[in-house]
């Protein structure tokens, strides 16, 4: 009890924004999320700022683009800006062969609508994509923030037959929207390290390497700024957080504090089971303290990179199996807690769809909405953000319970670690790849960057 109380006190030191309980809406489906984006674009009167890993050149991406330009044509005073990862925007999809980057679509629309100036910024977190990307999320429409771990493309928005399941939250609060806007203006707009991608001349990263290093250092000390206050009887507290790098990462520290503050139960969502060593220790501590732990993770077939055995194998198709091996080792180590019902590992699988949920629920009073994958890459390489929600009056309990029920809808509880396949049962191409990786101990490096 004293252990968890210490970390609750640490969380109480965080500044917070008071938010009315009826100002948050939780969406449950990708198609609903897409429609909400389109509705908010159409309704916005003052500003639209979209921050995502990418806005894809596909059917859904073009629909979003068309909506943005239509809004700008109808309301020229509307300030619209889009921020995506610098590297991701200039390449095609992994494993899909040669492709033009999404930046060509941005330039195409800029040429098609010369009277509508909508800047598309490429944010370079690191000099190479595999070393770190813009994983900060959030869309601002006037005084509303729409937050999800999803990017903008066909599968995230359920444009066609398949969808990628995520969390979707809409919060209407002027102070939060202003704080989010101030951050992106202070750090992204008018910085020479953040070029526009809708213009034909995009500098190569090697030509802005000095500016990019300075940019990254500034980001590491970046904070969401707002006037803190206390919550009223019909309000909850919200703390926006941002983090980059291992040292002084406020988001990572808060995630650990939230978990270590638990007294009764913890509910964790992560698409790729590869927790940092510190987080693994925290999970072990929860089990030793008799806290109930539920981990909802995607089955390997629900991974973004899963390739069915009947299709040609590519190296990237080995990732889902690496994550499953991690999960099998974890489940084997804590099988006793699974047998007791204290540890619940829930595997999500729904037809050919994929799973991309992240976040935490603790003791029905704390929740973390985030795009962080809770893995070493998120912990050290990518720019991440999230919203910590403190709900001492449990005003949001019914809504969060409904969200958890929706998350668990297509899950199956793992009763024994042997229910997960092991290396010898994998397809031959996968076995050869993973055996080679383990022989050269490459899995140690891969664990840090995947």
Pairing of β 144-148 and β 138-141: antiparallel
Q: Calculate mean pLDDT across residues 343-349.
A: 98
Q: CB burial class (10 A; 0-12, 13-18, 19+) of residue 221?
A: exposed
Q: Is position 16 within any domain?
A: no
Q: Is position 6 within any domain?
A: no
Q: Same structural domain for residues 273 and 195?
A: no
Q: Same structural domain for residues 370 and 400?
A: yes
Give me the CATH number covering residue 215: 3.30.870.10
SS3 string, 213-281, reads HHHHHHHHCCCCCCCCCCCCCCEEEEEEEEECCCCCCHHHHHHHHHHHCCCCEEEEEECCCCCCHHHHH
CA 17 to chain centre: 22
Domain, as residue range, for 249: 235-449
pLDDT at site 448: 59
* Cα distances (Å, whole numbers) of residue 257 to 4, 12, 248, 263: 9, 11, 14, 12
pLDDT in tens, 279-318: 999 999 999 999 999 999 999 999 999 999 889 988 889 9
Q: Same structural domain for residues 140 and 78?
A: yes
Q: Is position 216 within any domain?
A: yes
Q: Same structural domain for residues 164 and 277?
A: no
Q: Same structural domain for residues 196 and 252?
A: no
Q: Calculate mean pLDDT across residues 366-391.
A: 96
CA 223 to chain centre: 18
Q: CB burial class (10 A; 0-12, 13-18, 19+) of residue 102?
A: buried
pLDDT in tens, 150-160: 999 999 999 99
Q: Is position 225 within any domain?
A: no
Q: Is position 195 within any domain?
A: yes
Q: Same structural domain for residues 41 and 180?
A: yes
Q: Is position 188 within any domain?
A: yes
Catalytic (active-site) positions: 135, 166, 356, 384
pLDDT in tens, 30-85: 999 999 999 999 999 999 999 999 999 999 999 999 999 999 999 999 999 999 99
Q: Same structural domain for residues 208 and 343?
A: no
Q: Is position 138 within any domain?
A: yes
Q: Same structural domain for residues 194 and 249?
A: no
CA 301 to chain centre: 20
Instruction: Answer yes or no: is pLDDT of 330 > 70.
Output: yes
Q: Is position 196 within any domain?
A: yes
From the CB of residue 388, how many other CB atoms can be counted at a distance below 10 Å? 23
* Cα distances (Å, whole numbers) of residue 135 to 259, 271, 354: 22, 15, 19
Q: Same structural domain for residues 207 and 290?
A: no
Task: Quickly tell me which residue has 């809708």 as its tokens.
Answer: 198
Interatomic CA distance for residues 374 and 385, integer angstroms: 12
Q: Same structural domain for residues 406 and 436?
A: yes
Element housing 404 (H / E): helix 397-407
Interatomic CA distance for residues 258 and 260, integer angstroms: 6
Q: Same structural domain for residues 214 and 270?
A: no
Interatomic CA distance for residues 81 and 120, integer angstroms: 6
For the entire predicted model, the pTM comes to 0.95
Structural contact between residues 258 and 11, judged by C-beta atoms closer than 8 angstroms: yes
Q: Same structural domain for residues 150 and 212?
A: yes
Number of domains in the chain: 2
Interatomic CA distance for residues 397 and 394, integer angstroms: 5
Rounded percentage of the chain residues whose pLDDT exceeds 90: 89
């Amino acid at each position: 009890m004293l252990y968890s109380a210490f970390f609750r006190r640490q969380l109480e030191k965080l500044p917070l924004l008071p938010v009315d309980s009826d100002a948050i809406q939780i969406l449950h489906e990708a198609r609903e999320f897409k429609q909400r984006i389109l509705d908010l674009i159409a309704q916005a009167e003052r500003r639209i700022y979209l921050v995502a890993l990418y806005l894809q050149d596909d059917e859904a991406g073009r629909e979003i683009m068309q909506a943005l330009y239509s809004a700008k044509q109808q309301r020229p005073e509307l300030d619209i800006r889009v921020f995506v990862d610098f590297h991701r925007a200039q390449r095609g999809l992994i494993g899909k062969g040669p492709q033009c980057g999404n930046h060509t679509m941005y330039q195409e629309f800029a040429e098609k609508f010369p009277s509508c100036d909508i800047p598309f910024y490429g944010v370079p977190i690191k000099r190479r994509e595999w070393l770190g990307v813009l994983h900060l999320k959030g869309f601002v429409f006037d005084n509303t923030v729409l937050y999800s771990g999803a990017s903008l493309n066909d599968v995230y928005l359920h444009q066609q037959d398949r969808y990628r399941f995520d969390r979707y939250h809409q919060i209407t609060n002027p102070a939060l929207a202003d704080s989010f806007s101030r951050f992106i203006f202070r750090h992204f707009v008018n910085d020479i390290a953040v070029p526009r991608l809708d213009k034909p001349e995009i500098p190569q990263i090697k030509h802005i390497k000095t500016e990019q290093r300075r940019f990254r250092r500034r980001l590491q000390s970046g904070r969401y700024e707002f006037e803190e206050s206390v919550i009223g009887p019909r309000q909850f507290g919200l703390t926006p957080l941002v983090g980059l790098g291992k040292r002084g990462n406020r988001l990572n520290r808060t995630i650990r504090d939230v978990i270590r503050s638990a007294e009764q139960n913890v509910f964790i969502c992560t698409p790729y089971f590869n927790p940092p060593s510190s987080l693994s220790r925290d999970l072990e501590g929860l089990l030793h303290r008799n806290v109930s732990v539920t981990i909802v993770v995607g089955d390997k077939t629900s991974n973004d990179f899963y390739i069915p055995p009947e299709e040609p194998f590519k190296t990237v198709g080995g990732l889902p199996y690496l994550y499953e091996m991690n999960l099998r080792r974890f489940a084997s180590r804590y099988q006793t807690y699974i047998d007791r019902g204290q540890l619940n590992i829930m595997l999500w699988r729904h037809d050919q769809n994929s799973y991309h949920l992240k976040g935490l629920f603790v003791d029905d009073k704390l929740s973390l909405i985030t795009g962080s994958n809770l893995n070493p890459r998120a912990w050290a390489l990518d720019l991440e953000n999230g919203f910590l929600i403190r709900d001492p009056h449990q005003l949001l309990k019914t809504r969060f319970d409904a969200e958890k029920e929706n998350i668990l809808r297509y899950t199956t509880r793992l009763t024994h670690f042997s229910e997960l396949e092991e290396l010898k049962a994998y397809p031959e191409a996968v076995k050869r790849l993973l055996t080679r990786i383990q022989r050269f101990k490459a899995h140690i490096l891969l664990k840090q960057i995947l």
